[in-house]
Amino acid sequence: MVPELSMNSLAEAKQLPAWDSRGVENPTPYFRLPMTEAATQFYAEHGFLVIEDAFSLESIEALRHEATTICRGDRGALKGIPPWTGTETDVEILRQILCIHFPHKISDLMFATLKANPFVEVLTNIIGPNVKCMQSMLFIKAAGKPGQAWHQDEVYIPTRDRTLCGGWIAMDDATVENGCLWVIPGSHRTGTMYFQEWHGDERFDCALEAQGFPYSNDDAVPVEVRAGSIVFFNGYLLHRSLPNYAESGFRRSLVNHYMSAESLLPWINPAGPFSVATLNHRDIVMIAGEDPYAFQGMVDVHGPHVRPDGKGGCGSNEYNEK
């Protein structure tokens, strides 16, 4: 069941020592475009990076409007949306959805956003000249909705060269109170993958939690950002988000996942006599540069759908999708 959210957890979160009290060099993750060598270095060292004001507030307002249209089911079939009666207000609609996977499959605006200039500029610096995208997720996260436990995105989406990168657009100001991202800076560096287990913690949704990593919650920092900022984070970086403890409103974000186009993407296992070493999932969108595997063509297999939020339980706890 979704928890009675305890304000104690928020107070505890706020008491964690600040990033700059831990003697971490170059403590500020906040940069602006144009991209600089310092920002590229920061990402390599700490595994994340914030680009402030990457999107104008007009663009963010358009994304918010589009999010509501998608959640209403007005951009086409969306597996898992409740059977709306047509009388619900926007707020009533949005309050019932935690997250939608692959919104770019039904929305021209979300599709265009995959390749928006701030993404191209940053990704071609932190990944390389050839970049592809394989996934988008639209988080609505209304007040009272759960967060996601500690995890690394490469556990779900494996690259061959550790280039997976989330590009997380804040569609509202994201704060500790309303469930911003938390990261463990530098936790991506060794490239160790931490296997996941069911957490049984009602603050989090049905996705599993990384186990056995050599860090504690005291090593984590909140990434509070203004609407319009993008948080970039490496696929091996341990990150999580806490519930939305605010009394009302939403913590909306659109997160797209990118990687180098040179890396194969052994994500979905097709039936057939293939070695895992040659698997290359082709439900992708090219973002920049050349596609060395263009000769393999493209497929369209992922459908947009609503992610379970744990309300009513997590079933067999086997939900294991990014």
Ligand X SMILES: O=C(O)CCC(=O)C(=O)O
Question: Interface residues with ligand X (CB under 6 A)?
Answer: 139, 147-148, 153, 166, 168, 181, 239, 241, 253, 255
What are the helix and strand counts (H, E) for the chain? 6, 15
Please, what is the minimum distance in Å from the beta carbon of residue 203 to ligand X? Answer: 12
How far is 278 from 255, CA to CA, in rounded Å? 27
Cα end-to-end span (Å), the chain? 21
Of 94 and 289, nearer to ligand X (C-beta) is 94
| DSSP character at residue 159 | -
Of 188 and 289, nearer to ligand X (C-beta) is 188
**Which runs of consecutive H residues, i.e. helices, occur in 95-246?**
108-114, 117-126
Please, what is the minimum distance in Å from the beta carbon of residue 188 to ligand X? Answer: 13
Q: For residue 175, which of 143, 207, 217 has the smallest C-alpha distance?
A: 143
Q: Mutual orientation of helices 37-46 and 117-126 as an angle, nearest 10°?
A: 70
- Phi, psi (degrees; rounded to nearest 5) at 40: -60, -45
Please, what is the minimum distance in Å from the beta carbon of residue 181 to ligand X? Answer: 6
Of 81 and 180, nearer to ligand X (C-beta) is 180
Residue number of the CB closest to ligand X reads 241
Of 135 and 289, nearer to ligand X (C-beta) is 135
Torsion of CA 106, 98, 48, 61, to 10 degrees: 60
Please, what is the minimum distance in Å from the beta carbon of residue 278 to ligand X? Answer: 27
Please, what is the minimum distance in Å from the beta carbon of residue 90 to ligand X? Answer: 20
Of 42 and 48, nearer to ligand X (C-beta) is 48
